[in-house]
Amino acid sequence: MTEVEWKTRCELAACYRIADILGWSDSIFTHISARVPGEENSYLINSYGLLFDEVTASNLVKVDLQGERLSEGKINKVALTLHSVIHNKRPDINCVIHTHTPTGVAVSADIRGLIPISQQSLTIINSVAYHDYEGVFFWDDEQTRLVTDLGNKDILILKNHGLVATAKNIPSCFSRMYMLETACAIQSASYKNSILIEPDTINKSLDESMNGSNNKSTLLMWKAMIRKLERMGVDYKK
């Protein structure tokens, strides 16, 4: 195993553990993936059947973009249908987080979609796309519609299902999902006649977030969460 793959495995395992602490897991039914740097045709994902708090660097499974297993572990074919097509069709995406939190699913079932009622929503609202619900499983012929609906956006709200965040690296993807999950929690807890933020304020806020400070904040937040794991004694690197 290369040094860069091991580093990615440790970072991805940390992401699973952080997601578990934040309550993003849904028993064994959601997943996070990361492309192996320098290996454009493969990515890492959790072994099917493991809870998020059982994921470690060494038990992550490597698969190719066709969903074929390249290392030991069990694979969830339904999960691979989602992750493989995104990694395959969007080479700029190196990490994908998919969640089924109650508040995320609630917003995915809201006819208004994600609405601008919080500072958190402003950081991601222009990056959101939507995909219609087609059933409990992702079908092979649904893959084309998934990536078409995602387009060049970074977030895909799966209607009546859950949330998908993507990014070029794990810390950025975590930050994006953090803001999305928080925005959904706020929206779910708000009154139906919530005050909407004015479009001019939305655009001004988005312009400011694109000036580079957001990238710095993303890295600072990721490092803070890693310190939290280490204080808790979470052995995600084994």
Using CB atoms within 10 A of its CB, is residue 13 exposed (0-12), middle (13-18) or buried (19+)?
Answer: buried
Q: Is there a domain that residue 238 lies in?
A: no
How many separate domains does the chain show?
1
| Residue 236: HSE in the Cβ half-sphere, 13 Å Cα cutoff | 30
Task: Kindly report the pTM of this predicted structure.
Answer: 0.91
Per-residue pLDDT of the chain (238 residues; tens, 9 = 90+): 899 999 999 999 999 999 999 999 999 999 999 999 888 899 999 999 999 999 999 999 999 998 889 898 898 888 888 999 999 999 999 999 999 999 999 999 999 999 999 999 999 999 999 999 998 777 778 899 999 999 999 999 999 999 999 999 999 999 999 999 999 999 999 977 788 888 888 777 666 655 544 677 888 999 999 999 999 999 999 9
Cβ neighbours of residue 104 closer than 8 Å, sequence gap 6 or more = 162, 163, 180, 181, 184
Domain that holds residue 160: 3-232
Q: Is there a domain that residue 95 lies in?
A: yes
The pLDDT score that the predictor gives to residue 76 is: 86
Q: Is there a domain that residue 142 lies in?
A: yes
Q: Is there a domain that residue 237 lies in?
A: no
Q: Is there a domain that residue 143 lies in?
A: yes
The three-state (H, E, C) secondary structure of 149-185, written as one string: HHCCCCEEEECCCEEEEEECCHHHHHHHHHHHHHHHH
Place of tokens 């508040």: 103
| Cβ atoms of 107 and 188 closer than 8 Å | yes
CATH number of the domain at 165, please: 3.40.225.10
Q: Is there a domain that residue 65 lies in?
A: yes
Q: Is there a domain that residue 146 lies in?
A: yes
The pLDDT score that the predictor gives to residue 205 is: 67
* Dihedral pair phi/psi, residue 111, rounded to 5°: -60, -25
